[in-house]
Amino acid sequence: MAIGTPSNLSLSNLGVITGSNSGAGTQTSLRYCRGYTTAQTSMWADFRIGTSGHLPSITWSEGSGTTGSAKGYFQVKIKNDVGEYMGAGSSGEWIKGSLGTSLNENRTYYWNVIESVGGVGSLYQSRIANRSANSTDYEGGFDLVLGTFGVVAQQYGTGEDSFRHDGGV
Protein backbone atom coordinates (compact mmCIF):
# COMPACT_ATOMS: atom_id res chain seq x y z
CA MET A 1 0.00 0.00 0.00
CA ALA A 2 0.99 3.66 -0.12
CA ILE A 3 1.05 6.51 2.32
CA GLY A 4 -2.42 7.92 2.89
CA THR A 5 -4.02 4.49 2.56
CA PRO A 6 -5.66 2.96 5.65
CA SER A 7 -4.23 -0.48 4.99
CA ASN A 8 -3.12 -1.63 8.43
CA LEU A 9 -5.11 0.27 11.04
CA SER A 10 -4.60 -0.90 14.58
CA LEU A 11 -6.01 0.72 17.71
CA SER A 12 -2.96 -0.51 19.60
CA ASN A 13 -0.60 1.18 17.08
CA LEU A 14 -2.68 4.39 17.19
CA GLY A 15 -2.34 4.30 20.98
CA VAL A 16 1.46 4.06 20.66
CA ILE A 17 1.85 6.96 18.21
CA THR A 18 -0.54 9.24 20.14
CA GLY A 19 0.96 8.36 23.53
CA SER A 20 -2.27 6.83 24.76
CA ASN A 21 -0.84 3.47 25.83
CA SER A 22 0.51 4.11 29.29
CA GLY A 23 1.79 0.63 30.00
CA ALA A 24 1.47 -3.09 29.55
CA GLY A 25 -2.07 -4.31 29.95
CA THR A 26 -3.52 -0.83 29.52
CA GLN A 27 -6.51 -0.78 27.22
CA THR A 28 -6.49 1.76 24.43
CA SER A 29 -9.62 3.59 23.37
CA LEU A 30 -10.23 6.19 20.69
CA ARG A 31 -11.26 8.56 23.47
CA TYR A 32 -7.75 8.36 24.96
CA CYS A 33 -6.09 8.72 21.54
CA ARG A 34 -8.08 11.91 20.97
CA GLY A 35 -6.96 13.41 24.26
CA TYR A 36 -9.53 12.19 26.79
CA THR A 37 -12.50 14.03 25.30
CA THR A 38 -15.94 12.64 24.67
CA ALA A 39 -16.11 13.93 21.08
CA GLN A 40 -16.88 11.41 18.39
CA THR A 41 -13.61 10.13 16.93
CA SER A 42 -12.75 8.29 13.73
CA MET A 43 -9.79 5.93 13.82
CA TRP A 44 -8.63 6.96 10.32
CA ALA A 45 -10.21 10.30 9.34
CA ASP A 46 -9.17 12.15 12.52
CA PHE A 47 -5.52 10.97 12.58
CA ARG A 48 -4.49 10.46 8.94
CA ILE A 49 -1.59 12.29 7.27
CA GLY A 50 -3.54 12.42 4.02
CA THR A 51 -5.59 10.35 1.61
CA SER A 52 -4.84 8.96 -1.82
CA GLY A 53 -6.54 11.99 -3.39
CA HIS A 54 -4.96 14.52 -1.01
CA LEU A 55 -1.41 13.39 -0.27
CA PRO A 56 0.98 15.42 1.88
CA SER A 57 3.84 17.31 0.24
CA ILE A 58 7.02 19.08 1.29
CA THR A 59 7.50 22.81 1.51
CA TRP A 60 10.95 24.34 1.87
CA SER A 61 12.59 27.72 2.27
CA GLU A 62 16.14 29.04 2.43
CA GLY A 63 18.11 31.48 4.50
CA SER A 64 20.26 34.29 3.17
CA GLY A 65 23.53 33.76 1.34
CA THR A 66 24.87 33.14 -2.12
CA THR A 67 23.20 30.80 -4.54
CA GLY A 68 24.88 27.68 -5.86
CA SER A 69 24.49 25.26 -8.73
CA ALA A 70 23.14 22.13 -7.03
CA LYS A 71 19.68 20.76 -7.82
CA GLY A 72 17.63 18.31 -5.84
CA TYR A 73 14.60 17.51 -3.73
CA PHE A 74 14.19 18.06 0.01
CA GLN A 75 12.28 15.12 1.43
CA VAL A 76 10.92 13.54 4.61
CA LYS A 77 10.53 9.82 5.21
CA ILE A 78 7.55 8.65 7.28
CA LYS A 79 8.48 5.30 8.85
CA ASN A 80 8.30 2.97 11.87
CA ASP A 81 5.03 3.07 13.86
CA VAL A 82 3.77 6.29 12.24
CA GLY A 83 4.66 4.97 8.78
CA GLU A 84 2.89 1.70 9.47
CA TYR A 85 -0.28 3.44 10.59
CA MET A 86 -0.27 5.91 7.69
CA GLY A 87 0.08 3.18 5.03
CA ALA A 88 3.79 3.61 4.28
CA GLY A 89 4.88 0.48 6.13
CA SER A 90 7.45 0.33 8.91
CA SER A 91 10.34 0.75 6.45
CA GLY A 92 8.68 3.97 5.32
CA GLU A 93 8.04 6.09 2.31
CA TRP A 94 9.71 9.34 1.18
CA ILE A 95 7.63 12.43 0.49
CA LYS A 96 9.47 14.77 -1.89
CA GLY A 97 9.16 18.49 -2.39
CA SER A 98 9.47 20.36 -5.66
CA LEU A 99 12.83 20.50 -7.45
CA GLY A 100 15.18 22.99 -5.81
CA THR A 101 17.64 24.77 -8.09
CA SER A 102 20.60 27.09 -7.45
CA LEU A 103 21.16 25.39 -4.08
CA ASN A 104 24.28 26.03 -2.00
CA GLU A 105 25.13 23.70 0.88
CA ASN A 106 26.54 26.68 2.80
CA ARG A 107 23.06 28.24 3.11
CA THR A 108 20.49 27.27 5.71
CA TYR A 109 17.40 25.43 4.45
CA TYR A 110 14.17 24.49 6.21
CA TRP A 111 11.66 21.88 5.05
CA ASN A 112 8.65 20.12 6.48
CA VAL A 113 5.64 17.99 5.65
CA ILE A 114 2.58 19.97 4.59
CA GLU A 115 -0.60 18.03 5.00
CA SER A 116 -3.11 18.47 2.20
CA VAL A 117 -6.25 20.46 2.93
CA GLY A 118 -9.11 18.02 2.72
CA GLY A 119 -6.85 15.07 3.38
CA VAL A 120 -5.29 15.55 6.79
CA GLY A 121 -7.05 14.46 9.95
CA SER A 122 -7.75 17.20 12.50
CA LEU A 123 -5.62 15.44 15.14
CA TYR A 124 -2.57 14.44 13.05
CA GLN A 125 -0.42 17.47 13.87
CA SER A 126 -1.27 17.84 17.56
CA ARG A 127 -1.43 14.16 18.57
CA ILE A 128 1.19 12.57 16.25
CA ALA A 129 3.54 14.97 14.41
CA ASN A 130 4.14 17.23 17.43
CA ARG A 131 4.82 14.29 19.79
CA SER A 132 8.56 14.10 20.62
CA ALA A 133 8.39 10.33 21.19
CA ASN A 134 7.69 10.01 17.43
CA SER A 135 10.95 11.74 16.41
CA THR A 136 12.45 8.50 15.07
CA ASP A 137 9.41 8.00 12.82
CA TYR A 138 10.46 10.96 10.65
CA GLU A 139 13.72 11.24 8.69
CA GLY A 140 14.86 14.29 6.77
CA GLY A 141 16.83 13.88 3.59
CA PHE A 142 17.84 15.28 0.24
CA ASP A 143 17.76 13.63 -3.18
CA LEU A 144 20.61 15.17 -5.21
CA VAL A 145 19.98 15.52 -8.95
CA LEU A 146 22.92 17.71 -10.04
CA GLY A 147 26.06 19.11 -8.42
CA THR A 148 27.35 18.77 -4.87
CA PHE A 149 25.16 19.26 -1.82
CA GLY A 150 25.89 17.54 1.50
CA VAL A 151 22.84 17.82 3.72
CA VAL A 152 22.86 17.36 7.49
CA ALA A 153 19.15 17.15 8.35
CA GLN A 154 18.20 18.09 11.92
CA GLN A 155 14.71 18.13 13.37
CA TYR A 156 13.60 21.56 14.59
CA GLY A 157 10.55 23.30 15.96
CA THR A 158 7.57 21.61 17.51
CA GLY A 159 6.80 19.25 14.64
CA GLU A 160 8.86 16.10 14.36
CA ASP A 161 8.20 16.29 10.60
CA SER A 162 10.17 19.58 10.31
CA PHE A 163 13.87 19.71 9.40
CA ARG A 164 16.68 22.17 8.77
CA HIS A 165 20.17 22.12 7.30
CA ASP A 166 22.46 24.72 8.85
CA GLY A 167 24.71 25.92 6.06
CA GLY A 168 28.43 25.71 6.70
CA VAL A 169 28.06 23.22 9.56
Instruction: Report the 3 state secondary structure along the chain.
Output: CCCCCCCCCCHHHHHHHHCCCCCCCCCCCHHHHHCCCCCCCCCCCCCCCCECCECCEEEEEECCCCCCCEEEEEEEEECHHHHHHHCCCCCCEEEECCCEEEECCCCCEEEEEECCCCCCCCCHHHHHHCCHHHHHHEEEEEEEEECCCCCCCEECCCCCCEEEECCCC
pLDDT in the model for residue 104? 93
Question: Would you say residue 154 lies in a domain?
Answer: yes
Question: Would you say residue 3 lies in a domain?
Answer: no
> Splitting the chain (169 residues) into consecutive groups of 10 residues, what average pLDDT does each group show?
81 88 64 77 89 84 89 95 91 93 93 82 91 94 93 88 81
Contact assessment for residue 95 and residue 161, using Cβ atoms and an 8 Å cutoff: no
Among 7, 94, 82, 92, smallest CA distance to 51 is for 7
pLDDT in the model for residue 85? 92
Question: Would you say residue 36 lies in a domain?
Answer: yes
Q: 68: domain range?
A: 11-165
Question: Would you say residue 17 lies in a domain?
Answer: yes
Question: Would you say residue 1 lies in a domain?
Answer: no
**Rounded distance between C-alpha atoms, residue 147 and residue 84, angstroms:** 34
Question: Would you say residue 2 lies in a domain?
Answer: no
Question: Would you say residue 5 lies in a domain?
Answer: no
How many separate domains does the chain show?
1
Question: Would you say residue 6 lies in a domain?
Answer: no
pLDDT in the model for residue 35? 77
